[in-house]
Structure 1
Amino acid sequence: MLAVPFLAGCGSDEDEAGKPLAGQDIAPVARDLVADGSSLKWAVDAVPATLNTFQADADTGTNRIAQAVLPSLFRLDAGGRPVPNPAYLESAKVIETEPRQVVLYKLNQQAVWSDGREIGAADFLAQWRALSGKNSAFWTARNAGYDRIEKIERGASDLQVRVTFARPYADWKSLFSPLYPKEVMGTPEAFNDEARRRLKVTAGPFTVDKVDTANKDVVLTRNPRWWGRSAKLSEIVLHAVPRDKRAEALANGSVDVADVDPADAQRIGLAAHGTANPLQGSGRTSVKKLRAWALAHDFGADAAKAGKGKLHKAIAEYLGEQLALREVEVRRSLEPAYTQLALNGSEGPLADERVRRAVARALDRKELARLVLTPLGLPAVPVGSHLALSGQAAYADDSGAVGGQDTKEAQALLADAGWVPGGPVKGAKKGEKAAGAESDQGDKGDRGDKGDGEEKSDGGRDGEYIVGEDDKTGDGKSGGHGDGGDRHLVQEGRNGGVPGAYAPKGTAAAAAPAAPLAKDGKALTLRFVLPSGVGSETLNSVAERISAMLERLGIRTTIIKVSDDSYFKDHIASGDYDLALYSWPSSAFPATDDRPVYAKPVPAADGSVNVEQNYTRVGTDQVDQLFDEAVATLDEGKAVSLIRKADARIWAAAGSIPLYQRPQLVAVRKNLVNVGAFGFQTPVYEDMGFLKKGAKISPSPKN
């Protein structure tokens, strides 16, 4: 048995949660400074395939619409913690614990659906029945929590709803957010089909006016029956724009706000300071100089082949857009999501916990965080928890359970596992080095080495892949496309890197690689699988740096780049990798949402292995038990303590290593207020709008 280091994070000190590493950046102003009646054009990746957030193909656009048009009984605050939403709730609390847990909801007496009907117990009852998992005719993506409910009743009045649980449920605040009307949840036909393209009945500051697939728009308009503060905007138009077209869309006015990649963020920053014009001047500019200028401004490889006429036109268009982009700024924060290194523990060298722990101890996570976040001016602090982020109640830095970067300790773990330097390799020719030695030049080519000794990073938007709430990946069995039923993989289009965004000054140079390790005639070489599509530059930069860190131990990596379409489905979900990089969202309810991510794989009836969402295939009975205890306790302090203990054990098992929180970059018109990089907090759609003429935005406090 390996001696496990002291399991950190077992206390209940609330100060450990700290505060978010980066606050909101939304240009907040009072409502009386916001103009009334404007239209806001918001870029999204695609027109949502469904308006039902509980369906498997719901995406971020679906969630954004639901936030604006449907009740959410609890919202997330700036620290990612659930708080009651007074627009819908007067109160919600546990009123009984024995013999059953009972939650009493007292609804806002003004809360009505857009058809005039009061929000009430019938809507709660319909949603529970649809999502309980008892009726397979409802094609639901998740039922966590709803499956614990025993009954739902009207309270002492129409404004009260009593929810009785068959089993204690700590995360009851996660339920009924969003809440759909009984017209949607009442029948499988309405749930499965009708709610995909329209919501006839809503209850938010906005309502769905139309879904226009031809023009790639979803139009939200003010809800005339909204009882709260009237929305400042008359409409919000969600318009589908590919990521590589967003700078152009912001420049020509077809969108007002858009999530952008670091390349566009840098371009917008350059526009604010003016861009040199190579077409001006008394002398003639050569084609060679124009091509060099175009390449320096990220025009792409085609610029090197274009003739002078085409270059002249392209540069003129670019400069026109740069002038227009002076009216745009980038607001920055950190997403409620983190990027991790995943280690597949189902087979091969990484099935040995000692090898996984050695890999973990080889990593300088501070260096990796700086590589990605420092070029963007964001806090470069490694993530210390699998189950929460700084600012959330459950956050504590539990990484001490596996230990920090320590080459000697990592080497000792490998030696204990039988991996020794320079050992003989079966099949190697006389005089040939162990596999993975300097002769592996092909791997360097695959890693995209520039040959100049410098490693470039686009600074963010790393995860072509963030596991969130928006995909359909199958049955959760090894060899299948498991999603566990609660959280789903999102594949997001990404674009280009930021030229010149190098590793921060002061980053230590890579140490010389150690002699390759071998055991029983086999070299210690790990397959590092990465996506190959446009926008994967940061993942590749991080992978190169990790590979260099592992080489210091004598561990060689073979980087394998695969198509974006097959990256998750054919490699991560099916277990065809040793090392991989992808992202997970944080949750305000880790006991519910994270259990399938770290559940111990179990054999299924058909002979496969049910991994749920545990794509590293590393789990323990102790972690499962801690999750089960956390979700069943109604003592919030005890639940936090149990989550931290579970996280410490997840660290100790070294199936996944959290690296850094993902950057959030949102480009907006400078006069657009109460909109931008929201961080953890749920947006307040009724307060968004454009600044009144003559009003000024106060400078945001520095994080």
Structure 2
Amino acid sequence: MSRSTTTRRLGRAAAAALAVALAATACSSGSGGSGDVAKNVVPTQDAEDSNPQPLEKIKDGGEFRPPLQQWITQWNPYQVDGTYGDAVEIMGYVEAKLFRSDAKGVFHAVPEYLQSAEVTSTSPQVVTYKLNPKAKWSDGKPLGYQDFKAVWEASNGKNSAYNLSDSSGYEQISNVEQGADPTEVKVTFSEPYADWQNLFNPLLPAAGLATPDAFNDGWVEKIPIWGGPFKPGTLDKAAQTITLVPNPDWWGPKPKLDKITYRVLASPAITQAFLNNEVDYASAGSASAYGQLKDAKDGVIRTGTPWDEVHISFGGSGALADQSVRQALGKALDRAALIKIVNQGVPVEFKPLGNHLFMTNQTGYQDNAGDWVKFDPAAAKSLLDKAGWKEAAAGQPRTKDGQSLELHFVVSDGSTQAQLDMATAVQNMLQQVGVKLTVDKVPSKEYFTKYVNEGKFDLASWRNTGSFPLSKGVANYRAPQGDNVFGNFSRLSTPEIDSLLRKAAATLDPAEAAKLYNQADVRIWELGHTVELYQRPSIVAVRKGLANYGAGSLADTDITKVGWEK
């Protein structure tokens, strides 16, 4: 499965395809082009394929039917359970999305909400927002400083009653106040924060965040207030469908679509649903899915290179509380062989990834994996020996203090065969160094909520998507605070990593920030936190005629421009 973890989770809504990690999917962000699959997608900062069309070539009306892989329970993207990629994407359509990024990851203010937004002082850093006076919430209230203040107060980490997903950026703010008039907002920072455009995005109304109860529970199974081009239509849990319809009070360009219908389907069912003309979008990222979808009637395959990575995370308890054991597992895994398993039958190459924070097509990327995940079973055995895990009889797990070295790999029961084959390969690789690994299938709808989010795994694999700008990756590796793990489900961290990430996020010079992020990444590899596998291209089947939506890069979807060609 895929999450929009603190990966740009509050900015761009997880630009990802539905698909191929040992767990399942997220959502998609769009972009256009030909229907032929490139034999090898070379990552560039603007590689995308969303069939871009001018508005005059798109008809008014029509329905778009994307799939969902799980029912959305928590709609507040600032709350820790609200980070599921599809939910974040949808909230960008129904709430105030202040900024959208282009294909190169450059932010642009959305004029329906902002007349301007700029740094008006650097010592201290002050950002002044000039709001569009037409912008208003569904309860009739205009957008104002109180909304910014409510998001900040709920997300700055000072009140533990707010079960927040990530305090990055908000904890650096010292004040939020009205400016020269009610349409002006001044945000003052106690220390510099480079990615300020990613904050308050989407902006939510103060009325929905004013108390911890409202923040944590007021968005469960409902969207109480909205302020985007679309609004909630129906949230039918029994039918497992969610519909969006145009907001009749929207003050911006009228959306082309008159309905978006999301339908919850298990991963294997999405392919058949596309073939049956029941959904208009499906992952083609596995061999089986691609084989069925490449010649689908009224379908076209599109590819792109978004911020999208697949990894294996280690837990931080039991035997894995020992860093040497985690390092041993990293050396026992043959990454190239694992990538080959999931890449088989898919005509786009999955690129090995050597960085936790940068994708290969991002400025500043460098491969920091070094020897930490160099396939070396002998070195893995040596590390386990030093950690006190003694070799046993052939085929038997190592032992220490009367305990066997037995671990569990938690996978979703919605996994594709290729994903299960990869899990089996991991099992066999670890057996060669004396680690018994059991593959535990769990219900796909509970994979995150009951296992990953709760840290109930020794090994688990999922996709992080849309983790851009860089500061949004901080929460995946920062130190937990009490019960709040942010996005760090392994619960593994060090003060040095924490310090480097915070310093990087506060560095306004992109080149200097990149150096700090890479220094942190070296330490994350050394920590044995996560074994990065590959950057995953977006490979999707899209219904012919769908414009301005498909396989994305670093760009956000402008949902008002999505529609069907005339």
Sort the TM-score into its range (normalised by shorter chain): 0.7 to 0.9
* Deviation of the 1:567 alpha carbon: 6.5
* Corresponding residue for residue 202 of structure 1: 226
Corresponding letter in the other structure for 1:206 = F
Q: Distance in 1 between matches of 2:251 and 2:450?
A: 49
Q: Is the contact between residue 45 and residue 103 of structure 2 (CA under 8 Å) also seen in structure 1?
A: no
Unaligned runs of 5+ in 1: 1-17, 273-324, 426-432, 438-517, 693-703
Deviation at 1:600, TM superposition (A): 5.4
CA pair 19-95 structure 1, distance change in 2 beyond 3 A: farther
After the TM superposition, which residues 344-493 of structure 1 pair with which residues of structure 2 at under 5 Å, given as runs?
A: 344=315, 346-348=317-319, 351-353=322-324, 356-400=326-370, 402=372, 404-406=374-376, 425=392, 433-436=393-396
Displacement of 1:638: 2.2
The answer to whether the 8 Å contact 2:319/2:405 transfers is: no
Q: Does 1:652 align with 2:526?
A: yes
- Distance in 1, matches of 2:45 and 2:546, equals 24
* 1:555 CA drift (Å): 0.3
Residue in structure 2 matched with residue 501 of structure 1 by the alignment: none
Corresponding residue of 2:204:
180
* 1:529 aligned residue (401, 404, 409): 409
Q: Counterpart in 1 of 2:114? A: 89
TM alignment of 1:224-373, pairs within 5 A:
224-259=248-283, 262=286, 263-269=288-294, 272=295, 325-333=296-304, 336-344=307-315, 346-348=317-319, 351-353=322-324, 356-373=326-343
- Partner residue, 1:37: 61
What is the match of residue 105 of structure 1? 129
Q: CA deviation at 1:268?
A: 2.4
Equivalent residue for 1:661, pick from 508, 531, 535: 535
For 2:427 and 2:209, the matched residues in 1 are separated by: 50
Task: Provide the residue aligned with 2:37 in structure 1.
Answer: none
Residue matched to 2:35: none
2:520 partner amino acid: A
1:598 corresponds to: 477
How is 1:150-169 mapped onto 2 (pairs within 5 angstroms)?
150-169=174-193
The match for 1:561 among 427, 434, 439 is 439
User: What runs of 5+ residues in structure 2 fail to find an aligned partner?
Assistant: 1-41
Name the structure, 1 or 2, with higher relative contact order (CA <8 Å, separation 6+). 2
SS in 1 for 2:307: strand
Contact kept in structure 2, 1:171 and 1:631, CA below 8 Å:
yes
1:474-526 per-position Cα deviation (integer Å, ceiling 9, x unaligned): xxxxxxxxxxxxxxxxxxxxxxxxxxxxxxxxxxxxxxxxxxxx788989955
TM-score for the superposition, normalised by structure 1: 0.64
Change (3 A) 1:671 1:184: same
From 149, 160, 164, give the equivalent of 1:125: 149
Task: Pick closer, same or farther for the CA change 1:56–1:656 going to 2, 3 Å.
Answer: closer
**Is 1:74 the counterpart of 2:99 in the alignment?**
yes
State the distance in 2 between where 1:43 and 1:349 align: 36
Report SS of the residue matched to 1:648.
helix
Kept after mapping to 1: 8 A contact 2:205/2:225: yes
Q: CA deviation at 1:163?
A: 0.6
2:552 matched to 1:683? no
Q: Which residue of 2 aligns with 1:482?
A: none
List per-residue Cα deviations over 1:188-245 (Å, max 9, x = no partner): 6765565445556533322334434454433322234444433221222223344444
The Cα of 1:690 is off from its aligned counterpart by 1.0
Distance 1:86 1:638, change over 3 A: farther
The RMSD of aligned alpha carbons is: 3.9
Query: Is the alpha carbon distance of 1:525 and 1:125 closer, same or farther for their aligned partners in structure 2, counting shifts above 3 Å?
Result: closer
Find the aligned partners of 1:233 and 1:671 in 2 and give their Cα distance: 13
Contact 1:360 1:402 (C-alpha < 8 Å) held by counterparts: yes
> Conserved in 2, the CA contact under 8 Å of 1:526 and 1:555?
no
1:64 aligns with 2:24: no
Shift in Å at residue 674 of structure 1? Answer: 1.5
User: What is the match of residue 26 of structure 2?
Assistant: none
Shift of 1:383: 1.1
Match of 1:52 in 2: 76
Give the fraction of aligned pairs with identical amino acids, expressed as a percent.
32
How far does the alpha carbon of each residue in 1:272-329 deviate from its partner, in whole angstroms, 9 at most, with x for none?
2xxxxxxxxxxxxxxxxxxxxxxxxxxxxxxxxxxxxxxxxxxxxxxxxxxxx41223
Change in Cα spacing, 1:394 to 1:109, as seen in structure 2 (3 Å) is farther
The answer (yes or no) to whether the contact 2:166–2:487 under 8 Å persists in 1 is: no
What secondary structure does 1:527 align onto?
strand
Count of aligned positions: 521
The AA in structure 2 aligned to 1:387 is: L
Kept after mapping to 1: 8 A contact 2:430/2:437: no
Alpha-carbon distance between aligned partners in 1 of 2:442 and 2:80, rounded to the nearest angstrom: 20
2: CA distance between counterparts of 1:347 and 1:363? 20
Q: What are the Cα deviations for residues 151-178 of structure 1, in whole angstroms up to 9, with x where unaligned?
A: 2222234432101123443332221111
User: Does the 8 Å CA contact 2:350/2:536 hold for their aligned counterparts?
Assistant: no
Instruction: Call closer, same or farther: CA 1:250–1:647 in 2, change over 3 Å.
Output: same
What letter corresponds to residue 436 of structure 1 in structure 2?
Q
Superposition deviation, residue 345 in structure 1:
5.5
| Distance (whole Å) between structure 1 residues aligned to residue 417 and residue 222 of structure 2 | 38
Cα distance change, pair 211–415 in 1 and its aligned pair in 2 (3 A): closer
Q: Indicate the residue corresponding to 2:16 in structure 1.
A: none
> 1:418: how far off?
7.6
Are the equivalent residues in 1 in contact too, given 2:311–2:534 (CA < 8 A)?
Answer: yes
Show CA shifts across 1:387-440 (max 9, x none).
2222334532211263634566656666776889xx6x4xxxxxxx44439xxx
- The one-letter amino acid paired with 1:328 is G
Q: 1:401 touches 1:651 (CA, 8 Å); kept in 2?
A: no
| Aligned match of 2:13 | none
> Does residue 1:545 correspond to 2:452, yes or no?
no
Report if aligned partners of 2:285, 2:346 keep a CA contact under 8 Å in 1: no
Distance 1:82 1:201, change over 3 A: same
Shift of 1:116: 6.3
Q: State which drifts further: 541-550 or 160-169.
A: 541-550
Shift of 1:385: 0.8
Please tell me the residue identity of whatever aligns with 1:561. V
Do the aligned residues in 1 keep the contact of 2:284 with 2:539 (CA within 8 Å)? Answer: yes
For residue 126 of structure 1, give the secondary structure of its aligned residue in structure 2.
helix
- 8 Å Cα contact 1:611-1:617 kept in structure 2: yes
Q: 1:140 to 1:580 in 2, by over 3 A?
A: closer
Question: Structure 1 359/677 Cα, relative in aligned 2: closer, same or farther at 3 Å?
Answer: same
CA distance in 2, matches of 1:412, 1:22: 44
Deviation at 1:683, TM superposition (A): 1.3
